[in-house]
């Protein structure tokens, strides 16, 4: 059985210990992941520090060219990496699954390579000229989650190195294998030390974020861990980009043609088995449209095949880990005990971390499945009578990553969108992120943005050069 290895200073690192990774669909062993220790974290950070100055001194065009070479490597190896993602994370190859994730990796690499962030004249008169330059921060600590392990890692890696930083990446301990293989491939075109990895649980993540030579932290994950990272950054004063998940609300406006939006609503909620930060987690439906929404979503759910994502006909796979499966099942059980209408769809395999696609009706604000982010294939559908009530419900929780409005009257929705407390408000779509469009959370869903020009700025610091004429 293969033991995968970290990349440190351009070389594969011999692990001091390892642990086994299993396929969430069938429990089969996928091999062994390396377990980093404090010494490997130190080696990785020092390698990144040594490489950073030379990397930053390369011309902007040279870094852009190398970034495009990375995109080509990702494209050429997309089938190999997609299969690893499916076996390790669980999402199907087909539909909005692992191949889709690899397409996103390519796109989110090509776009930063195409962007420019030139010096900006911020003031000029007869006596002086002041120019703002964007310069790299140094060594970036990137901590990626298990739900979109390669795509989110790319969101962190590519803007950072594009702008002259170096990176130490820690993938989730649940899904390290595909990420380690991707980083190994990328290193074929990068100078040694520009991109390094360490692996392990939160203890290793803490060693990395507490390191005094880290100049920037990028983290996608839970709110509780995000708060710990904020504390860790205080000593080094490292700036942070935090994406701490969400409990996204979607509001279907009264009288909307439900048939026209039902498929988009379904995938807005059940993309990656609901294990996506910007998924619909709470669906608010006008009382007159409630039965129609339940019927339309039920019809779609009943057609979905649940199983091992290596089967090309499967669009719904397992949850990634036993802990997450147990959490979602507990929330559904709580709703069932409260007398909610539980509708389950799909034949669940005997082995693996599977659960049915679950629609939960006759549920209200304040119940656990509504108020706690489920991060799984169970959608609470809540009736409302007045649009004002739905807006208040959407805003009442501390989560503020995304939200959406669904309507046949877009002019009305555009006005209401300004009142929803979320980093992104979509109209007639949900989770429709784009590499040119800034993305980030409000309130307890984090701060800072990724993507586009604003994302490049987030991995740099300003330097003003002021000239007396």
At residue 440, the 3 state secondary structure works out as: coil
Which of 101, 105, 181, 277 does the annotation list as catalytic? 277
277 an active-site residue?
yes
CB 191 within 8 A of CB 10: yes
Which of 101, 243, 373, 421 does the annotation list as catalytic? 243
What stretches of 313-420 adopt beta strand conformation (E)?
Answer: 341-345, 357-361, 378-384, 399-400, 402-406
- How far apart CA 461 and CA 158 sit, in angstroms, is 17
The token duo for 300 is 């779609």
The token duo for 462 is 């300003």
- How far apart CA 314 and CA 324 sit, in angstroms, is 21
The token duo for 95 is 């539909």
Helix (H) or strand (E) holding 31: strand 29-35
Helix (H) or strand (E) holding 467: strand 460-468
DSSP 272: G
- Residue 341: beta bridge partners? 361
CB 430 within 8 A of CB 280: yes
243 an active-site residue?
yes
Handedness of CA 90, 95, 98, 104 (dihedral sign): negative
Name the residues annotated as catalytic.
243, 277
């Amino acid at each position: 059985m293969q033991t995968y290895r970290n990349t440190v200073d351009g070389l594969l690192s011999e692990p001091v210990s390892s642990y086994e990774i299993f396929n969430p669909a069938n429990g089969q062993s996928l091999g062994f992941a390396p377990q980093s220790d404090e010494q490997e974290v130190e080696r990785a950070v020092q390698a990144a520090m040594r490489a950073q100055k030379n990397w930053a001194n390369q011309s902007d065009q040279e870094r852009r060219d190398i970034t495009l070479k990375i995109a080509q490597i990702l494209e050429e190896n997309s089938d190999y990496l997609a299969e690893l993602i499916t076996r390790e994370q669980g999402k199907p190859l087909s539909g909005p699954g692992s191949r889709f994730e690899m397409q996103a990796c390519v796109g989110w690499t090509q776009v930063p390579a195409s962007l420019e962030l030139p010096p900006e004249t911020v003031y000029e008169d007869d006596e002086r000229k002041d120019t703002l330059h964007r310069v790299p921060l140094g060594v970036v600590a990137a901590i990626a989650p298990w739900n979109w392990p390669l795509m989110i890692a790319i969101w962190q890696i590519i803007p950072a190195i594009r702008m002259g930083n170096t990176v130490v990446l820690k993938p989730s301990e649940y899904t390290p294998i595909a990420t380690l293989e991707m980083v190994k491939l990328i290193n074929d075109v990068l100078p040694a030390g520009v991109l390094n990895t360490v692996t392990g649980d939160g203890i290793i993540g803490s060693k990395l974020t507490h390191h005094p030579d880290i100049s920037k932290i990028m983290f996608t994950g839970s709110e509780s861990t995000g708060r710990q990272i904020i504390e860790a950054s205080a000593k080094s004063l490292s700036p942070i980009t935090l994406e701490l998940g969400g409990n996204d609300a979607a509001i279907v406006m009264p009288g909307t043609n439900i048939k026209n939006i039902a498929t988009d609503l379904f995938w807005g909620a059940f993309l990656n088995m609901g294990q996506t930060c910007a998924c619909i987690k709470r669906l608010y439906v006008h009382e007159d449209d409630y039965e129609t929404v339940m019927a339309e979503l039920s019809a779609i759910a009943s057609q979905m095949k649940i199983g091992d994502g290596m089967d090309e006909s499967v669009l719904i796979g397992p949850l990634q880990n036993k802990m997450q499966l147990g959490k979602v099942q507990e929330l559904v059980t709580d709703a069932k005990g409260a007398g909610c209408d539980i509708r389950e769809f799909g034949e669940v395999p005997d082995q693996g971390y599977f659960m049915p696609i679950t629609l939960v009706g006759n549920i209200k604000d304040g119940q656990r499945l509504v108020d706690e982010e489920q991060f799984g294939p169970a959608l609470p559908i809540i009736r409302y009578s007045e649009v004002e009530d739905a807006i208040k419900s959407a805003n009442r929780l501390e989560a503020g990553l995304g939200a959406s409005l669904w309507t046949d009257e877009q002019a009305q929705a555009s006005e209401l969108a300004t009142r929803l407390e979320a980093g992104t408000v979509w109209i007639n779509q949900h989770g429709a992120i784009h590499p040119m469009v800034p993305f980030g959370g409000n309130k307890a869903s984090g701060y800072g943005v990724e993507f586009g020009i604003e994302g490049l700025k987030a991995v740099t610091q300003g330097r003003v050069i002021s000239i007396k004429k």
